[in-house]
Structure 1
């Protein structure tokens, strides 16, 4: 009888644990323009598996509309949301500053930065206004897709129509700074604006060439300028205190360690683009882009005009300093590393 009672206690205990586990399942809402077949969703399936091993059961749901994913997080229909840098800016200007124009030119810079973001040293910056960042991983460098290969240096941007994402005030400032014309766009329509000829230039990761068929907007004369104007990342956002501190730290490490697999896919997309579609630029043109992008960031920070202050307001000073230190760590000979007007 005693043995039977013990058995019942064990069974009831297990049953209770099982029900609690089911009720503790969290909703993981993933934005990917290609839905569940997209590279972001597929990459984050590895995060999903590792979160389960850490004791957090997630139900992945694909979203093709980033605004809807953000709205569902705010409404409590999502416990974690995976969004681009632009989506992350609505919650955290520190991690949102990663996509500052020209601030992370090379993948080696991004790799160093992701290690920093997984460190407890920056924890205080990753929680703002009731939300926290649970990790960052790459989506690929943003390149200029152009409809004319002659657009291979900074001066050639003048007068050209360039798509600018809604709320991307720093990119708008850059476009106006070089004398180009901003064309208002959303993640859902920027490719169609370029493909239909309503814009001469659009910026996106290499995956957009195939996934969004941006080769159509290039025609026979266009190409992709082989210089990154920024980095696009996927960032996980959750309500603060939704998860315990141990899982938050674990989550950030998991996302950081997705770098090799994410970069394997990014490189695969980049290598799949026909060689003749890349617009190779001279070392002088590269330096021209680097200095122009740095000058734009400094101009924003010093501007007294409403548009400049609005653009500068999307950047977090501490992140901009970290990004400059990372660039000078990987490329100590760069002009900015010895310039008086360092960021």
Structure 2
């Protein structure tokens, strides 16, 4: 009889190890009416199939969202791939320099989220990544004279994230001056001309009249620097078994829609803002980026499996890329 009661108690503990209602700390710079928050409403409905009711606590400041999550006030975090690196190195590497080169490659990655070799790298003991909302490729936005050569970056003030050694190394390699920014002040610093160059996705600048607010010489170099996305991280012990796999299947099913939205944002940026560089300069810059990136693969900063996977996906998309040529 005691054994039966003990078994029943264990079953109750296992059943009640998670609560049906869970709160996610969400970073959305444009608030609850933004595209990120709207996409999360779709995920909220899908989560109900696992008897999980999601609530969202939205922050305009990313550091506040992360701090609240770290304090245990939320069981989930929705924040940039750059600043969720600390929770999962595999998915944190999605923001690596010279890795995801465009939205097509991002879409192919989303389609693999239920593949065993990929999925197991998204799951850790303390944290688990449910998925990635693509925002788009980060391009160099300039309020200085047009730059057509890498050598012209010398002494330019370039905005970078503070806790991102590869970005720091890349800026130093072209003899430019790194200026630390975060997502709450980067655009303001650019508008105030305290930095000359800011890497940003089209989504981040679409709300602005760039010529009027940033200056008549503002241009965007049509060369990918990194990829910006929003990662969803949870503490898996707060959720039912299989919840992560269930939500990742939503990302697989919606990979085309998610990537198409990011493409649409980029296509909305007027053509006169774009500045092209020569194929010769582009190849030289790609080689420089690859060299620095590989240094951080060797050091363990970037996840080696992720880098190899993205290289293969990128070669499918662009066989002429320098690391794809035989």
Place the TM-score, normalised by the shorter chain, in its bin. 0.7 to 0.9
- Please provide the CA RMSD for this pair: 2.2
Match of 1:209 among 201, 205, 209: 205
**258 and 66 in structure 1: CA distance in 2 versus 1, 3 angstrom threshold:** farther
Contact kept? 2:102, 2:136, Cα under 8 Å: no
Q: Tell me whether 1:261 sits opposite 2:248 in the alignment.
A: no
Contact kept? 2:296, 2:302, Cα under 8 Å: no
Structure-1 separation of matches of 2:314 and 2:268:
28
Q: Which position in structure 1 is the counterpart of 2:105? A: 109
Match of 2:28 among 27, 32, 46: 32
- Residue 265 of structure 1 deviates from its aligned partner by 3.2
Q: What whole-Å deviation, never above 9, does each CA across 1:31-54 have from its counterpart, x for those lacking one? A: 111111222112222111211234
Q: Which position in structure 2 is the counterpart of 1:318? A: 305
Contact kept? 2:28, 2:58, Cα under 8 Å: yes
**292 and 31 in structure 1: CA distance in 2 versus 1, 3 angstrom threshold:** same
Q: Which position in structure 1 is the counterpart of 2:196? A: 200
- Residue 213 of structure 1 deviates from its aligned partner by 6.0
Contact kept? 1:136, 1:235, Cα under 8 Å: yes
Q: Which position in structure 1 is the counterpart of 2:286? A: 290
Structure-1 separation of matches of 2:212 and 2:85:
30
Q: Which position in structure 2 is the counterpart of 1:9? A: none
Q: Which position in structure 1 is the counterpart of 2:93? A: 97
What secondary structure is seen at the aligned counterpart in 2 of 1:30?
strand
- Residue 199 of structure 1 deviates from its aligned partner by 0.4
What secondary structure is seen at the aligned counterpart in 1 of 2:147?
coil
Pair member with larger Rg: 1
Q: Which position in structure 2 is the counterpart of 1:226? A: 222
Q: Which position in structure 1 is the counterpart of 2:4? A: none
Structure-1 separation of matches of 2:179 and 2:125:
31
Equivalences for 1:154-169 in 2 at 5 Å?
A: 154-169=150-165
Q: Which position in structure 2 is the counterpart of 1:79? A: 75
**124 and 266 in structure 1: CA distance in 2 versus 1, 3 angstrom threshold:** closer
Structure-1 separation of matches of 2:294 and 2:117:
26
- Residue 218 of structure 1 deviates from its aligned partner by 3.9
Normalising by structure 1, we get a TM-score of 0.83
Q: Which position in structure 2 is the counterpart of 1:8? A: none
178-187 vs 312-321, greater mean Cα deviation: 312-321
- Residue 130 of structure 1 deviates from its aligned partner by 1.0
Contact kept? 2:104, 2:259, Cα under 8 Å: no
**169 and 109 in structure 1: CA distance in 2 versus 1, 3 angstrom threshold:** same
Contact kept? 1:146, 1:218, Cα under 8 Å: no
**256 and 84 in structure 1: CA distance in 2 versus 1, 3 angstrom threshold:** farther
Q: What whole-Å deviation, never above 9, does each CA across 1:312-342 have from its counterpart, x for those lacking one? A: 5431122112122222232234321357xxx
Structure-2 separation of matches of 1:97 and 1:64:
24
- Residue 171 of structure 1 deviates from its aligned partner by 0.7
Q: What whole-Å deviation, never above 9, does each CA across 1:232-258 have from its counterpart, x for those lacking one? A: 111110113222332110111213433
- Residue 214 of structure 1 deviates from its aligned partner by 5.4
121-130 vs 60-69, greater mean Cα deviation: 121-130
Contact kept? 2:106, 2:259, Cα under 8 Å: no
- Give the helix-richer structure, 1 or 2: 1
Unaligned segments of structure 1, at least 5 residues: 1-19, 303-311
What secondary structure is seen at the aligned counterpart in 1 of 2:287?
helix
Equivalences for 1:119-268 in 2 at 5 Å?
A: 119-128=115-124, 130-211=126-207, 215=211, 218-268=214-264
Structure-2 separation of matches of 1:240 and 1:247:
8
Structure-2 separation of matches of 1:71 and 1:61:
13
- Residue 190 of structure 1 deviates from its aligned partner by 1.0
Structure-2 separation of matches of 1:122 and 1:249:
11
